[in-house]
Amino acid sequence: MNVHYQCHTCGTTYKVNPYIWKCTCGGVFDLIKGNVSFSASMVDKNTPSMWRYNAAMPIDRTFWKNITMGEGNTPLIPLEENVQVKVDYMMPTLSFKDRGAAALISKAKEMGVEHVIADSSGNAGTAIAAYAKRANISCDIFLGEGTSDKKMAQVKAHGADIRVVKGSREDVAEAAKRAVEEEGKFYASHVYNPFFYEGTKTYAYEIWEQLDEMPDTLIIPVGNGTLLLGVYYGCKELLENGLIDKLPKIIAIQAENCAPIAKAFTSGEQAALPVENTGTLAEGIAIARPARAATILEAVRQTDGQFLTVDEEEIAHSRSVLAGKGFYVEPTTAANYAGFLKYNRSMNEKVIIPLCGAGIKV
């Protein structure tokens, strides 16, 4: 599959290589692949993981087959009539970020990368650390000083060097970017590197295969948009190949205390202005200055979707409700469920909600 990078802001194209991660204008890269040809017969039925869709992914089997830990292929469980949860914390490192990390690190290995740097609020860092270790790639993870002890311990257990940064989530990202430039390392960013979305798009492929269709609506939590954009790209590929007949509506959820994209959506803006993160239990989506906000807004509008915000009391309550149904999740996932409870759905509307992170991580 012939691929290249294209700046989402100015349209400049670049060859894929390990040491560029943004355009000279500062814009983020989209991955341009031309038409992705895929059919039901191309699903690798002998591979019980997200890699069963490798025919639609520009990553060589030679590399991912020695790195994969069986990520993906997570179950859909009925929650109530016409509503299902996809238990995406049933992953090797207990969050959906394994989808993107497995894809990105496999591509890094394919490109001959020996050392990666990533920044995270916890889950992405854990996933990058785990897959980098399997790939025999050195790894530095930048984390905020407020990251939970359990997530810190998990990253450290996978052999990564942790660099703790004082300040906001944005301060952590800026420190990692400086290190990437100064040290000449590969930026294994779940925000900036579009190969990460080649992993998260498999969420959509799995739903299509499990149901032989897509639901009417997908509820998705949004910070940097790594799941939302992956789902959007995956659904577009399914639509272009005639495997579904319409895009499902995307309902994006943000925490009220840090909701820059929701504010931009409500005001009709094409991009989001930075906001102050006043503190939220949902640390995984507490992104005050999301780099891909414009693309996220485009995706939600293209699907006739909407944004909803939830407060801290709603998040805490929803976590308890889900636990009472047998699902012990982290607060970010609870924020997503809280958004679902506020969503005004029609009687027969079919909805799927991702459970993105396990509660034991916090």
The CATH code of the domain that includes 246 is: 3.40.50.1100
pLDDT band at 195 (very low <50, low <70, confident <90, very high): very high
- Asked whether residue 192 is domain-assigned, the answer is no
Model pLDDT, residue 1 = 79
Model pLDDT, residue 208 = 98
Measured CA to CA, the distance from residue 257 to residue 25 in angstroms comes to: 30
Residues 325 and 204 in one domain: yes
Residues 89 and 234 in one domain: yes
Residues 152 and 182 in one domain: yes
Q: How many CA atoms lie within 13 A of 183 on its CB side?
A: 16
- For residue 289 the two structure tokens come to 């200055």
- Asked whether residue 38 is domain-assigned, the answer is yes
Model pLDDT, residue 2 = 86
Residues 163 and 81 in one domain: no
Of 119, 152, 187, the position where a domain reaches its end is 187
- Asked whether residue 133 is domain-assigned, the answer is yes
pTM for the structure as a whole: 0.96
Do the Cβ atoms of 59 and 87 come closer than 8 Å?
no
Domains held by the chain: number: 3
Residues 156 and 14 in one domain: no
Model pLDDT, residue 221 = 97
Model pLDDT, residue 11 = 97
Of 161, 187, 213, the position where a domain reaches its end is 187
Do the Cβ atoms of 116 and 142 come closer than 8 Å?
no
Do the Cβ atoms of 150 and 362 come closer than 8 Å?
yes
Model pLDDT, residue 146 = 85
Supply the range of the domain harboring residue 13. 4-63
- Is the pLDDT at 304 greater than 90? The verdict is yes
- Asked whether residue 71 is domain-assigned, the answer is no
Of 127, 153, 187, the position where a domain reaches its end is 187
Helix H segments across 184-275? 195-200, 202-211, 226-240, 260-266
Residues 138 and 82 in one domain: no
Model pLDDT, residue 13 = 97
pLDDT band at 34 (very low <50, low <70, confident <90, very high): confident
Residues 264 and 301 in one domain: yes
Question: Tell me: the pLDDT tens digits for 131-150?
Answer: 999 999 999 999 999 888 99
The more confident residue out of 361 and 126 is: 126
Query: Which residue matches tokens 């639609």?
Result: 56
* Most distant pair of Cα atoms in the chain: their distance: 55
pLDDT band at 35 (very low <50, low <70, confident <90, very high): confident
- Mean predicted confidence (pLDDT) in 57-85: 97
- Is the pLDDT at 27 greater than 90? The verdict is yes
- Is the pLDDT at 64 greater than 90? The verdict is yes
pLDDT band at 231 (very low <50, low <70, confident <90, very high): very high
- Asked whether residue 123 is domain-assigned, the answer is yes
β partners of residue 117: 140, 187
Residues 272 and 291 in one domain: yes
* Sheet of 186-187, strand order: 161-165, 138-144, 115-120, 186-187
Residues 209 and 254 in one domain: yes
Model pLDDT, residue 361 = 85
Residues ≥6 apart with Cβ < 8 Å to 299: 225, 228, 229, 232, 250, 305
Mean pLDDT, all residues of the chain: 96
Residues 134 and 224 in one domain: no
β partners of residue 186: 116
Measured CA to CA, the distance from residue 327 to residue 325 in angstroms comes to: 6
- Asked whether residue 157 is domain-assigned, the answer is yes
Measured CA to CA, the distance from residue 200 to residue 30 in angstroms comes to: 14
Model pLDDT, residue 362 = 84
DSSP 301-318: HHTT-EEEEE-HHHHHHH
- Asked whether residue 273 is domain-assigned, the answer is yes
Model pLDDT, residue 121 = 84
* Orientation angle between helical segments 123-134 and 149-157, nearest 10 degrees: 10
Residues 27 and 152 in one domain: no
Question: Tell me: the pLDDT tens digits for 265-295?
Answer: 999 999 999 999 999 999 999 999 999 999 9
Residues 345 and 224 in one domain: yes
Do the Cβ atoms of 105 and 132 come closer than 8 Å?
yes
- Asked whether residue 69 is domain-assigned, the answer is no
- Mean predicted confidence (pLDDT) in 308-326: 98
